[in-house]
C-alpha cells in the first residue's frame, strides 16, 4: 500500500547505525525526514549522505530529525560511513536504518519493481510532529536529490501549519506569501490588519507573517 499525504507514517522498530529505534518514539515531538537510498557503496548515494551530513545543523534548527535507509545491513552501513567521511569531508551524523529484510521498505512502498525489484528507490518522506506524512517524493536512482529543496518545503510546511497562508512558486524564507483560499476577506482583515495586495480576488499577497 502506498503511503499517502495525510496518512499516519507507519511505525516500526529497526536496527540503525545508532542502535535500535522505535520510529514514533524516536521522532518524539520533532518533525522527521525519512529517506531511502538504493544501495551502500554507490556513488550518487555517497554524495547525498555527505550533503545531508553537512546541512544537518539546518535540520536541527528546524527541529527536524533525519534518518536514512537502504536494503543493506547496519554492518555494511558502518563500513560505508568510513568512505563517506573520507570522501565527503564530514562524518555521517544521523542514523541509517539497516533494512536487509526490507521490512521498512515494504511498509513505505520504497521498492518499485518496475524500476528495480531488489533496491529501494530514492524516496523522501517528511513527517510532522503529529506523525502524519506531509510530503513524499520519489526520485529515480540516477538522480541525486536536492536537499535544499527539502529544507525549503519544511520551511513552508512549518509556516503554513502556524498561519493561514500558502507559499507561491519557488518561495523562499522571508518572501511574500499568499492568503489561504479558505480565508474570507472579512477574516483576512483580522488576520492581516496591515492589509494585502489583491492581484485577483483569489490571489491575495501579504508579507510573510513573523
What is the dihedral sign for C-alpha 171, 172, 173, 175?
negative
Residues near 131 by Cβ (< 8 Å), separated by ≥ 6? 8, 9, 11, 24, 27
CB of 142 to ligand BEZ, least distance (A): 6
User: CB of residue 17 vs ligand BEZ: minimum separation in angstroms?
Assistant: 18
SS3 42: coil
**Nearer Cβ to ligand BEZ, position 21 or 44?**
44
Q: Which of 141, 153, 183, 206 binds ligand BEZ (CB under 6 A)?
A: 141
Catalytic residue among 9, 27, 33, 45: 45
Non-local (6+) Cβ contacts of 8 within 8 A are: 131, 132, 133
* Closer by beta carbon to ligand BEZ, 49 or else 67: 49
Check residue 157 and report its DSSP letter: H
Query: Is 154 designated active site?
Result: no
Among 24, 30, 39, 176, which residue sits at the site for ligand BEZ (rule: CB under 6 A)?
Answer: 39
- Residue pair 45/163 in contact (Cβ under 8 Å)? The answer is no
Percentages helix, strand, coil for the chain (3-state, rounded to 5) are 30, 25, 45
In the bound state with ligand BEZ, the residue whose beta carbon lies nearer, of 85 and 144, is 144
Taking the least distance from each CB to ligand BEZ, the nearer of 109 and 176 is 109
Does position 38 bind ligand BEZ by CB under 6 A? yes
Greatest CA separation for the chain? 60
Residue 95 CA to residue 106 CA, distance in Å, equals: 19
Residue 188, all three cell numbers: 483576512
Answer yes or no whether residue 44 interacts with ligand BEZ by CB under 6 A. Answer: yes
Among 43, 57, 113, 193, which residue sits at the site for ligand BEZ (rule: CB under 6 A)?
A: 43
Q: Which of 18, 42, 73, 138 binds ligand BEZ (CB under 6 A)?
A: 42
Q: Which residues bind ligand BEZ (CB under 6 A)?
A: 38-39, 42-45, 141-142
Catalytic residue positions, numbered: 45
Amino acid at each position: 500500500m502506498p503511503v499517502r499525504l495525510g496518512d499516519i507514517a507507519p511505525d516500526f522498530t529497526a536496527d540503525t547505525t545508532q542502535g535500535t529505534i522505535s520510529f514514533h518514539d524516536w521522532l518524539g515531538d520533532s518533525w522527521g525526514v525519512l529517506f531511502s537510498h538504493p544501495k551502500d557503496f554507490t556513488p550518487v548515494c555517497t554524495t547525498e549522505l555527505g550533503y545531508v551530513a553537512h546541512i544537518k545543523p539546518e535540520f536541527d534548527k528546524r527541529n527536524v530529525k533525519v534518518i536514512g535507509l537502504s536494503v543493506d545491513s547496519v554492518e555494511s552501513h558502518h563500513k560505508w560511513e568510513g568512505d563517506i567521511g573520507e570522501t565527503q569531508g564530514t562524518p555521517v551524523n544521523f542514523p541509517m536504518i539497516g533494512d536487509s529484510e526490507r521490512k521498512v521498505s515494504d511498509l513505505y512502498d520504497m521498492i518499485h519493481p518496475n524500476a528495480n525489484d531488489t533496491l529501494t528507490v530514492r524516496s523522501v518522506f517528511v513527517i510532522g510532529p503529529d506523525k502524519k506524512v506531509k510530503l513524499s517524493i520519489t526520485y529515480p536512482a540516477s538522480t541525486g536529490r536536492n536537499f535544499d529543496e527539502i529544507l525549503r518545503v519544511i520551511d513552508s510546511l512549518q509556516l503554513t501549519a502556524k498561519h493561514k497562508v500558502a507559499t507561491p512558486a519557488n518561495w523562499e524564507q522571508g518572501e511574500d506569501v499568499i492568503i489561504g483560499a479558505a480565508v474570507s476577506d472579512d477574516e483576512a482583515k483580522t488576520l492581516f490588519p496591515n492589509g494585502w495586495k489583491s492581484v485577483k480576488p483569489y490571489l491575495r499577497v501579504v508579507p510573510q507573517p513573523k
